[in-house]
Structure 1
């Protein structure tokens, strides 16, 4: 029986995507799944920068893993792992099908399947699956269990519960103190309008200064009236409520920098409000773009130059995702949202349509998908 090799991604957002896709593909095909965690040579950058087909970027011990019997599929993400996927495809004589998730750096013909999203502006191609949002594994029984675990912790807070998912700096956008104040004011106003509470969690990319603004403000000492809330600072406790918030919140406010958080919140089917870090919302009259309310960062300015003057494949534009979600009625900007209505109970989201489409394409790739049947087995 062929195996699936998951070459684990080295960034947290991509890691969640490739693991979800690999696990779903393994379940659909009934193939064993093996996870490889590469160790890279710090100075070996040319294999991925120059689109090589090589293991030269790996430490010697990691290279030894890449040996027969070859897998039927290899699934991975990230520019460092592209040379590895191409190498496996060639070394196996084409028997290994190479699935890549997210941004491509190599030629599209180098992949057997690329699963991507609008922000990367990848052209239409026979080997590309364009999904609206990223694939993820926060659904079904996993979400159900998380909701049951956290329901008692959140129970003392008045409903509706508004989940606030906080990211961080990304490309041309900066989540600093000014943006944190605006986010807090908007979220508290929304909770106050419906008599509800905030369930707030920061993430690995959230600056400590932003967490401090949120903590002081929610306690009533940061220029914002106190609000019933639960606040989790990422890394402060081993108990991460993120999945529980996804399972239980009646609505969401999500910072617009993270497509992973947008995808997971949108996958619940409950109302989602996008928070503009500054410059994301391009329609006229967005208050968040007012002078003095946007955080400045040299890296953000350089990224804007990159987007404007350099080839598109070198950057990403997450506003294309925002626009698609708003146009499809799947999200609104925080300034435009209506009242929140409580809908108590642990609700398990079904598998996301983006993940379903990706699994079906993988099944078709290996000749295991009956026409018109999403079950590949």
Structure 2
């Protein structure tokens, strides 16, 4: 996949008086990087993507509200020099000092759009595009979207279906994609959750006479992958995530599936699944008092132990709210809107895709750059 729509050496030729010079400060998490590219593509302006290599102490400059490059390894990072961009799109704590430094070098002319949760005060950014789980204050420069931005659209799904239809033709229909994440905040996805997921997904496939398309992700524990593959006893295609694999079937499974099951730990995966418009089931990683639904989960099976999840629960209860996120706010909003249901609770309906988050984001950025209308 190309990192940008045009080669660097073509950027200057494509710039016009009304086209802002755009840089993407490369995010170090895949979900955030995908959101940045989605916004850049939706804006339709050519961009440069600046890949940075971070020093181990990169967090220091942000915690001290720095505006410098001491957190990155300059010798191995993309060059940051004039002509300075009109607009920066970025995400992640370690990129914040870099963006502030670039704005300073531009004489304050560069605008900064931050996606997700900023660690500095939102007032230090020209625009923050965020979602409810971060619980940011309501301010004029904070846009609260329902879900993170994504790159899924009807054309991409149609083209991907054409590529994958032959490879999955032998599987009984309907096809049910199972998109598996991993540990996230106060929730752990281990063997116990994997067994519940395999059992419930197989029950759904058998009831419909269909097949499973199971794919894991970068955060999935290897033991969870092995468990799912061993327990699932229906016709299926199974993919265990590998880094930099050009044959990763994730998009193919989204395109080919008739229904989707997504583990509810990943808001980005839920956002992309919602964009397909297909019936969507969320899988609850927890049970009982640790249920994501905030109620007793009668499916049983217990909860997986994770020291980091335990610490995160303590942080959410007693720590500073800005240091944690609450993804159940997203779950409740999606469920109340009728866009999803919990796996085993009901059969969700197929819905029209909702592009309003992307449209709002593009409109606000264009307004910021004086290009509204």
For normalisation by structure 1, the TM-score amounts to 0.88
1:286 matched residue in structure 2: 297
1:71 matched residue in structure 2: 85
Q: How many residue pairs were aligned?
A: 351
2:8 matched residue in structure 1: none
Q: How does 1:128-167 map to 2 (within 5 A)?
A: 128-167=142-181
Give the SS at the match of 2:167: helix
Structure 2 residues without counterparts, runs of 5 or longer: 1-15
2:25 matched residue in structure 1: 7
Deviation at 1:337, TM superposition (A): 1.9
1:17 matched residue in structure 2: 35
Q: How does 1:181-196 map to 2 (within 5 A)?
A: 181-196=195-210
1:357 matched residue in structure 2: 360
C-alpha contact 2:59 2:71 (8 A) present in aligned 1? yes
C-alpha contact 2:58 2:94 (8 A) present in aligned 1? no
- Return the alpha-carbon distance in structure 1 between the equivalents of residues 78 and 297 of structure 2: 54
Further displaced range: 86-95 or 96-105: 86-95
1:174 matched residue in structure 2: 188
User: What is the aligned-residue RMSD (CA, Å)?
Assistant: 2.0
Aligned pair partner of 2:242 in 235, 242, 245: 235
Cα distance change of structure 1 residues 268 and 91 upon mapping to structure 2, 3 Å threshold: same
1:296 matched residue in structure 2: 305
- Return the alpha-carbon distance in structure 2 between the equivalents of residues 55 and 169 of structure 1: 32
C-alpha contact 2:281 2:348 (8 A) present in aligned 1? no
Deviation at 1:61, TM superposition (A): 2.8
- Return the alpha-carbon distance in structure 1 between the equivalents of residues 110 and 354 of structure 2: 27
- Return the alpha-carbon distance in structure 2 between the equivalents of residues 351 and 148 of structure 1: 23
Cα distance change of structure 1 residues 196 and 64 upon mapping to structure 2, 3 Å threshold: closer
Q: Where has structure 1 moved over 6 Å in runs of 4 or more?
A: none
Give the SS at the match of 1:80: helix
C-alpha contact 2:112 2:125 (8 A) present in aligned 1? yes
2:337 matched residue in structure 1: 328
C-alpha contact 1:4 1:74 (8 A) present in aligned 2? yes
Highest RCO, 1 vs 2 (Cα 8 Å, sep ≥ 6): 1
Q: Deviations over 1:50-102 (max 9, x none)?
A: 22111111223367822221111100100000111122222212211100111
Aligned pair partner of 1:41 in 55, 58, 76: 55
C-alpha contact 1:161 1:199 (8 A) present in aligned 2? yes
Deviation at 1:159, TM superposition (A): 1.1
For normalisation by structure 2, the TM-score amounts to 0.89
Cα distance change of structure 1 residues 317 and 186 upon mapping to structure 2, 3 Å threshold: same
- Return the alpha-carbon distance in structure 2 between the equivalents of residues 285 and 61 of structure 1: 53
Deviation at 1:340, TM superposition (A): 8.5
